[in-house]
């Protein structure tokens, strides 16, 4: 294209001999400027395409990470829900001073599965994004939501779980004052059921642990909702 401009310019310059050198010089400058502008535009377009490829790769990694996080939360939340249901049955039996049922062995055993519930959140995509730079993201809304998820929602869940874990770990062997373990069968058996149902300290510990599990579960549910929302934004961006 530049060669065509150059030939046209030279022909016009030759038609007017006194001005041909001036026209030639000005035309040469114009052609150089046009060439530079075209080269810059092509270079910018190539850089833009390169950035979009990097962005797509990161978003795909985020998509995988968040789907895994949701699956982890679902598994842990289902376990906590099961324990919470069993704990409620156990508390109701004790508070109503019911006679000792054999099923209570199962509920005692399930209740003692404290666990840490500190999930190993997948953050590979987020770490990659931090290394590359958040400016690679085209959507400012998506950037804001990703930052909120990884800098607020997930850390809040971790902090809440660590607080509950500290409470559970403050007296890890407390149950030995109330139960013994059968060597050959699963489950916890009260040392003295009639004393246990009257023991206020026991019920205080039970309620503290139960309350802690509900706090962790609430944070899990919140994290799942936030993760699902950001995941949908990523899917929309990829589409």
Q: What is the pLDDT along the chain (239 residues), one digit of tens a residue?
A: 556 555 655 565 555 555 566 666 676 677 676 777 776 777 667 677 888 899 999 999 999 999 999 999 999 999 999 999 999 999 999 999 999 888 898 898 888 876 667 888 999 999 999 999 999 999 999 999 999 999 999 999 998 888 888 877 777 788 888 988 777 777 788 999 999 999 999 999 899 889 989 999 999 999 999 999 999 999 999 98
Contact (CB, 8 A) for 96 and 33: no
108-123: buried (b, 16+ CB within 10 Å) or exposed (e) per residue? Answer: bbbbeebeebebebbe
Task: Give the Cα separation of 143 and 129 in Å (integer).
Answer: 10
Q: In the beta sheet, which residues pair with residue 189?
A: 180
- Domain residue limits at 211: 2-238
> Is beta strand 188-190 parallel, antiparallel or unpaired with respect to 179-181?
antiparallel
Number of domains in the chain: 1
Residue 19: per-residue pLDDT: 58
Task: Give the Cα separation of 107 and 133 in Å (integer).
Answer: 50
H or E, element range at 181: strand 179-181
Q: For residue 90, what are the contacts with CB-CB under 8 A and spacing of at least 6?
A: 104, 107, 108, 111, 206
Task: Give the Cα separation of 130 and 111 in Å (integer).
Answer: 41
Residue 18: per-residue pLDDT: 55
């Amino acid at each position: 294209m530049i060669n065509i401009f150059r030939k046209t310019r030279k022909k016009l310059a030759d038609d007017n001999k006194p001005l041909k050198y001036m026209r030639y010089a000005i035309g040469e400058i114009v052609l150089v400027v046009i060439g530079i502008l075209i080269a810059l535009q092509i270079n910018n377009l190539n850089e833009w395409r390169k950035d979009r490829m990097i962005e797509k790769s990161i978003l795909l990694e985020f998509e995988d990470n968040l789907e895994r996080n949701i699956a982890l939360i679902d598994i842990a939340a289902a376990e906590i829900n099961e324990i919470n249901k069993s704990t409620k049955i156990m508390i109701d039996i004790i508070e109503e001073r019911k006679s000792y049922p054999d099923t209570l062995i199962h509920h005692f055993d399930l209740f003692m599965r404290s666990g840490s519930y500190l999930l190993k959140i997948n953050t590979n995509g987020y770490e990659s994004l931090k290394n590359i730079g958040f400016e690679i993201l085209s959507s400012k809304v998506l950037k804001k939501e990703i930052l909120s998820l990884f800098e607020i929602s997930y850390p809040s869940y971790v902090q809440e779980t660590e607080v509950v874990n500290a409470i559970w770990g403050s007296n890890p062997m407390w149950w030995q004052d109330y139960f013994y373990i059968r060597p050959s069968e699963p489950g916890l058996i009260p040392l003295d059921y009639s004393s246990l149902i009257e023991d206020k300290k026991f019920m205080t510990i039970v309620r503290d642990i139960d309350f802690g599990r509900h706090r962790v579960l609430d944070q899990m549910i919140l994290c799942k909702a936030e993760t699902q929302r950001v995941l949908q934004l990523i899917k929309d961006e990829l589409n």
